[in-house]
Amino acid sequence: MKPFLLVFFGGGLGSLLRYIISKALNGYFQHFFLGTFLVNSIGCLLIGLILGLFVKGSFSENQILLFATGFCGGFTTFSTFAFEKHSLLDSGQLLYFSFYTLSSILVGILAVALGLWLSKLL
């Protein structure tokens, strides 16, 4: 039962923080969902760092359930990312769709790599 509670608690905190950031920043730029972009980028950095530290033995399996599976799983949001892509396509914003999609994927991959690299320094 403990693993379920750890994922539940971490996911709740991540979801709440994602909601706050998205509410504050998604309307900041027209045709670019800054809040979603930031939470997904930060989430990628965090999961790289957390899993890199786990490999080094710095985190227990329970901490991975709380932080990586729970918090990062609740904090990042692929479904919102996909919906926002659809809304850009639906409104004919192909250039914004392309930029947002490519930048989100590229920054996400680079953020995971940066997190893994940072975990080696700690």
pLDDT tier at 16, thresholds 50, 70, 90: very high
Closest CA to 77 of 109, 42, 31: 42
- Say if CB 4 and CB 71 are below 8 A apart: no
Q: Across-strand partners of 32?
A: 29
Tokens of residue 51, six digits: 């899993």
Please check the confidence at residue 102 and state whether its pLDDT lies above 90: yes
pLDDT digits (tens, 9 = 90+) for 21-79: 999 999 989 899 999 999 999 999 999 999 999 999 999 999 999 999 999 999 998 98
54-67 as b/e: b if 16+ CB within 10 A? beeeebeeeebbbb
3 alpha carbon, distance to own chain's centre? 21
